[in-house]
Amino acid sequence: MYPRSFEYIAPTSLEEALDALAANPGAKVMSGGMSLIPLMKLRLFSPGLVVDIGRIAGIDTITDGGDHLAIGALVHHAATAADASVASGAAALAQAAGLTGDVQVRNRGTTCGALAHADIAADQPAAALALGATMVAQSSSGQREIAADDFFVDTLTSALQPEEILVEVRVPKTGAGSGSAYDKLGRRGGQSDYAVAGAAAVVTMTGGSVSAARVALTGVGTKPTLAGAVADALIGTDGSAGAIKAAAAHAAEGVTVLEDLYGSQEYKAHLAQIYAARALSAAVAAVN
């Protein structure tokens, strides 16, 4: 199916792009186009104007901010996955980016685009949520920061306003005594494609026990979701395999589990437990 007719512009400055969004209610931003174009072909989105930000300079880098990593709007999935600073400071995000789509998607789509799209089964939103990332949104009237906890609102719905562009995601770096990881089951049976269920985990160990933890799920509910009950159950334990299994049993608590073509509610809840445990085990193993 072809999309409905639309206007297209490719501004060369962020100011020009933001002005176009402000002047054209209903316009959509495109970076890599890996999410927007398929939805337009299905006519689930039919914007009158597409603002392609792919030619804007200066928003395609990963920079070290000391206590965090800043990933610009045009950083491709492949670059996030391959960057040494992301791999060491935010391993869950690097792993999630490396498992996003196929080679073509990873070299065309962007990390910020995946976050802004807020798909219920995408990989990187779960990692950003577990890591406690901050989204930097900009409009023609200024810039604001949105915590990942508040960013994912509902299915394909983020806290971005129509006139805003997600120009950067700031990801806190895991320090000494902490580790993070991401794991999933893909829709084609392996780790490719969207997640049937997946989990990202961040664990901090102090004096031989878990002092802090965050676990986020994808593919299970109506949006990327923190599994707070898992973290609560794990904190204070020794982080052993038994403690992780017991904590992961709480993965579906407080989550609106969806039944879809890839599994029943019972199956999805079971997978949530399995992948929460796998992500936690890998995060504990990665503690430095």
Candidates 164, 173, 185, 209; CA nearest to 51 is 164
**Residue intervals in the chain for CATH 3.30.43.10:** 7-52
* Average pLDDT value for residue range 134-159: 97
Task: Give tens-digit pLDDT for 152-162.
Answer: 999 999 999 99
**Residue range 7-52, CATH number:** 3.30.43.10
Task: Give tens-digit pLDDT for 46-92.
Answer: 999 999 999 999 999 999 999 999 999 999 999 999 999 999 999 99
* Average pLDDT value for residue range 116-128: 97
CATH domain 62-172 topology: 3.30.465
Tokens 């805003």 sit on residue: 164
* Average pLDDT value for residue range 143-156: 97
Task: Give tens-digit pLDDT for 5-15.
Answer: 999 999 999 99
**Residue intervals in the chain for CATH 3.30.465.10:** 62-172
Query: Is CATH 3.30.1360.20 the classification given to domain 178-285?
Result: no
Q: Is the pLDDT of residue 190 over 80?
A: no
* pLDDT given at position 193: 84
**Residue intervals in the chain for CATH 3.30.390.50:** 178-285
Q: 189 falls in which pLDDT band (50, 70, 90)?
A: confident
Q: Is the pLDDT of residue 280 over 80?
A: yes
**Whole-structure pTM value:** 0.96
